[in-house]
């Protein structure tokens, strides 16, 4: 759309056009232009020379984090959720368990470790919903450094008792569990 609107090929007309834009339109055009120069894609480093180097990736991620800080980007606030489609089916089972462990604690993660990947991703999505958990590459490093930064990384540690009270487990995970508290204490 910008290409169709801009009088390309005539520098004087282009500058006149840019000068006539209101502030919102100018900032929109600036954001569009900047989007071509920012790459926050986290790629696998190739140790054999083709592709991105470790230092190149570090520089890229540092620069994209600076832009995220400048515009006060918060992926949780923007509405990103770790769903099976957006994240959980695209990472190994170990990473799914790590995500649940970070958000809900070790006890909850252990409840999923026996599941097949598809079932694990679906259950993890349900457990992570609304938790504010983000994969490391989506976390703003300035907010992670702050203690108690909501929605940016690992929450405060949760005790096993709190985990058991906070997690609403589906029937297939609780079918074999004893019903009374005395049996549960003996099982622990």
User: How many whole angstroms separate alpha carbon 8 and alpha carbon 14?
Assistant: 6
User: How many whole angstroms separate alpha carbon 186 and alpha carbon 53?
Assistant: 53
- The residue with tokens 């790590």 is 98
Residues 58-88 have pLDDT tens digits of: 888 888 888 888 888 899 999 999 999 999 9
pLDDT at 147: 42
Residues 6+ apart with CB under 8 A from 27: none
Residues 6+ apart with CB under 8 A from 137: 40, 42, 61
Residues 6+ apart with CB under 8 A from 142: 65, 69
pLDDT at 31: 85
User: How many whole angstroms separate alpha carbon 60 and alpha carbon 183?
Assistant: 54
Query: For the chain, which residues make up each domain, given as ranges?
Result: 1-37, 40-73, 74-147
- Of 12-21, 43-52, 117-126, 172-181, the least confident: 172-181
């Amino acid at each position: 759309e910008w290409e169709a609107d801009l009088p390309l090929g005539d520098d004087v007309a282009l500058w006149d056009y840019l000068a006539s834009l209101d502030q919102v339109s100018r900032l929109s055009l600036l954001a569009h232009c900047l989007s071509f120069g920012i790459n926050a894609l986290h790629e696998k480093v190739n140790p054999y020379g083709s592709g991105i180097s470790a230092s190149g990736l570090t520089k890229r991620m540092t620069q994209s984090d600076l832009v995220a800080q400048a515009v006060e980007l918060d992926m949780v606030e923007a509405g990103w959720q770790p769903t099976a489609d957006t994240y959980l089916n695209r990472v190994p089972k170990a990473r799914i368990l790590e995500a649940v462990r970070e958000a809900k604690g070790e006890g909850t993660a252990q409840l999923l470790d026996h599941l097949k990947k598809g079932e694990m991703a679906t259950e993890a999505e349900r457990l992570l919903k609304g938790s504010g958990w983000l994969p490391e590459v989506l976390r703003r490093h300035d907010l992670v450094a702050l203690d108690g930064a909501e929605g940016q990384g690992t929450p405060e540690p949760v005790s096993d008792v709190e985990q058991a009270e906070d997690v609403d487990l589906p029937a297939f995970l609780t079918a074999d569990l004893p019903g009374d508290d005395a049996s549960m204490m003996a099982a622990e």
